[in-house]
Amino acid sequence: MRKPRSGINLSTVRSLDVKEMEKPQALYIHIPFCNRICTYCDFPKLLSSTGFIPEYLKALKRELETIPQGQLKTIFLGGGTPSVLNEEELEELLSYLQKSFSPSVEFTLEANPESLSESKIKILKKNGVNRVSLGVQSFDKEILKILGREERTEEETINCVNNLKSNGIKNINLDFIYGLKKEKREELRREIELASSLDVSHISAYSLQVEKNTPLFYQKDVVKDDDGLASDYDFLRKVLKEHGYERYEVSNFAKNGFESKHNLTYWHGDPYYAAGLGATSYVEGVRATRTRNIKDYIAGEKLFISKEKEDLSDQEFDFLMLNLRLEDGFSLKEFHDRFQKDFLKAYEVKLQECKYDLVISSKRVRVKKSLIYVLDQVLLNLLDFDKETK
């Protein structure tokens, strides 16, 4: 769901939200290069063969130098496919990040199994990377072909996971995509059972979203309808739970204690730095999105395509929309501390419209577990969507 401008009315003018004043403790870095372009991907990306990588990394370091140096809690290198960088490029970038920001809790790198060699894994370990998110998407070669992914054998993924563990990186996420009409229920179960047999700590399962201007958009009759997607999701959630993976966010499942600390930054509405092509940061209440034009980024020109100072109304909207994605919802005390009002009184009328959607206790508010997948409809009932979309 795209976030519209909030229709929440504030009765008084308040000072900056306490979260807004906090120094960010997280950093997202975008590495846009891939060996192949997936048919469904709408993120800023380029083929690694375009030859921009060396210039891009110089421009990226230039931007990173504008971020205050000092220890952060989390860093996340996403893409694109960061693991397509060669060994020298990985060493230079990761050593710089470790020296400049020394992430104390979680240092994550996204990778594809086919581009993450054991020699690269040793570089990750040497420079403090302690979590790897592998873009598996599927173990089925036919599905990988439809998605535009590089075909690989199951053994390649298994070997990659084993190499990570043998080199001391045991916090591993596997990303999957579901929702293709071709994939049957028994195949879904096999995907999860194979993933769980690798004893990874985290599994993400995303329904296939077909975005405009992606190759998959022009292929007909590929994705299941809403009922099919909902049925698959419910099935996946149950199978994952059987294998010890508890849902903590709509699409994310983890063994106890292995929830993504970096991604929780976003879902809790905390501030964070960002750098790289198309990346969005949230610092001092300003959401700033960088250009998706590689030449502009490298030249350091027209770096930002938008900067928006969020008022307290927008922050309140974000808080509710993001926190309700979480299995545990949000604390009534935190809502009061951030927005200086009682949630139950402020939303008394709206709560009548969605009283069967939420679980409200004396301390917390959350969406009923059976309804998290249809979160958009719950939010429509709770929030005002009557103004122009941002």
3-class SS letters over 159-203: HHHHHHHHCCCCEEEEEEEECECCCCHHHHHHHHHHHHHCCCCEE
pLDDT tens per residue across span 10-48 = 232 333 455 556 899 999 999 999 887 666 666 777 888
pLDDT at 152 over 80: no
Lowest mean pLDDT among 183-192, 203-212, 341-350: 203-212
Of residues 288 and 213, more confidence is placed in 288
pLDDT at res. 46: 81
**What ranges in the chain are assigned the alpha helix state H?**
18-21, 53-64, 87-101, 118-126, 141-147, 154-166, 185-197, 226-242, 261-267, 294-299, 312-323, 332-339, 343-346, 348-353, 375-382
Q: What is the mean pLDDT of residues 299-326?
A: 93
Residue 334 pLDDT class (50, 70, 90 cuts)? very high
Percentage of the residues of the chain whose pLDDT score is greater than 90:
71
pLDDT at 153 over 90: no
pLDDT at res. 221: 73
pLDDT tens per residue across span 50-101 = 999 999 999 999 999 999 999 999 999 999 999 999 999 999 999 999 999 9
pLDDT at res. 377: 85
Whole-prediction pTM value? 0.89
pLDDT at 4 over 70: no
pLDDT tens per residue across span 342-373 = 999 999 999 998 889 999 998 999 999 999 88
Q: Which residues have C-beta within 8 Å of that of residue 312, sequence separation ≥ 6?
A: 10, 14, 17, 339
pLDDT at res. 315: 92
Location of structure tokens 């998706």: 292
Q: Which residues have C-beta within 8 Å of that of residue 29, sequence separation ≥ 6?
A: 60, 64, 75, 76, 77, 78, 97, 274, 275, 276, 279
One-letter identity of residue 120: K
pLDDT at res. 38: 66
pLDDT tens per residue across span 242-290 = 999 999 999 999 999 999 999 999 999 999 999 999 999 999 999 999 9
pLDDT at 8 over 50: no
pLDDT at res. 10: 29
Location of structure tokens 């939010």: 379
The pair of three-digit structure tokens given for residue 72, joined into one six-digit string: 């952060």
Angle at 28 between CA 25 and CA 284, to 5 degrees: 50
> Which architecture does CATH list for 18-266?
Alpha-Beta Barrel (3.20)
pLDDT at 213 over 80: no
Sheet with 358-360, edge to edge strand ranges: 330-331, 364-367, 358-360
Percentage of the residues of the chain whose pLDDT score is greater than 70:
90
Q: What's the mean pLDDT when you consider all of the chain? A: 89
What is the torsional sign of CA 53, 57, 63, 69? positive
